[in-house]
Amino acid sequence: MSTGAGSHSVLTGASVIQAVEYNVTRAMNAVTVSRQGHSVERAPEVRAAKRSPMAISGAQPTAGLPGLSALIVAIAERGDRAAFATLFNHFAPRVKSYMLRLGADGQLAEELAQETMLTVWRRADGFDPARAAASTWIFTIARNLRIDAARRGQRMKHDDPFDETIAPDLPDAILSAAQDETRVASAIGQLPLDQARVIREAFFSDKPHSEIAAELGLPLGTVKSRLRLAMARLRGLLGEAA
């Protein structure tokens, strides 16, 4: 993979706030979609624009499955192509964005986004809405396919990139926290800016922590300890509410 110049720009404080606010808005939208049903296919940006920022505050109950999860379940249960199209329109452009950030060129990013969505279709029966949010599940597919693509050049005999997803049973408190996008998004929103920043970098920079540290102009130890603090804080926030 080539690294696009400028694709790892250092985030300003303001853009982190925007990103975090956007996260929360997005998560709320996911809830909204489920209430509206998903027969209407609308660009997420349009929905985002229609949401009032006031909707961010206050814990809205997530009765039933959040909409995007229900779409995956519809694929698993009845091969619902309209549900797939809605998921594709929402996630493919974001998965492509993720791949580009991690240094894929346009063509590879497009292919990996396609591959991710094809995997969503084929493995929909393995999605458990009680275990993970739709976005989490799709993130792990995209991540695994990216790792798999990166090592295709190696001599290693190919093994199943999803072999690792056989995970042990998780504690209920963690399951209920982690599958709830709204809660996770609001927990991220409560992180101090410097912690939110290192978290983003950990996901969207294909670089060792030492290089991230150099880019942020911080000592390596500081980046590591911020990352640990951020995770401990998220764990606390999600655990408390359980």
Partner 1 sequence: MTPRRHPISDRLIEYAAGSLNPERRLVVGAHVRVCPACAGEIAIVEAVGGVLIDALPAVEMHEDALALALARIERPAPPRREPAPGIQGWIDAPAAAVESARRRRRWAAPGVWVAPVIGGPYGRRSYLLGIGPGISVPRHTHLGSELVCVLKGAFEDRGEIYGPGDFCESDEDVEHRPRVTHGGDCVCLVAVDASLVARDWLGRIFQPLVRI
Binding positions for partner 1, 151-170, rule CB under 8 A:
151, 154-157, 159-160, 163-164, 166-170
List the one residue out of 3, 23, 13, 8 whose CA is nearest residue 133: 23
In the complex with partner 1, which residue's Cβ is closer, 178 or 214? 178
Q: How far is the C-alpha of 142 from the C-alpha of 38, rounded, in Å?
A: 24
**Shortest distance, position 29 Cβ to partner 1, whole Å:** 9
Binding mask 98-127 for partner 1 (x = CB under 8 A): x-xx-------xx--xx--xx--xx-----
| Tokens found for residue 181 | 């996008």
List the one residue out of 27, 116, 39 whose CA is nearest residue 66: 27
Q: Which of 179, 197, 213, 226 binds partner 1 (CB under 8 A)?
A: 179
How many residues of this chain interact with partner 1, rule: CB under 8 A? 88
**Shortest distance, position 112 Cβ to partner 1, whole Å:** 12
**Rounded to 5°, angle at Cα 41 from 98 and 74:** 80
Task: Decide: is 174 part of the binding site for partner 1 (CB under 8 A).
Answer: yes
Task: Decide: is 200 part of the binding site for partner 1 (CB under 8 A).
Answer: yes
Q: How far is the C-alpha of 209 from the C-alpha of 227, rounded, in Å?
A: 10
| Tokens found for residue 87 | 């998921």
Contact set for partner 1, span 11-70 (CB under 8 A): 19, 22-23, 26-27, 30, 44-45
Ranges assigned E (strand) in 156-209: none
| Tokens found for residue 36 | 């509206």
Task: Decide: is 140 part of the binding site for partner 1 (CB under 8 A).
Answer: yes
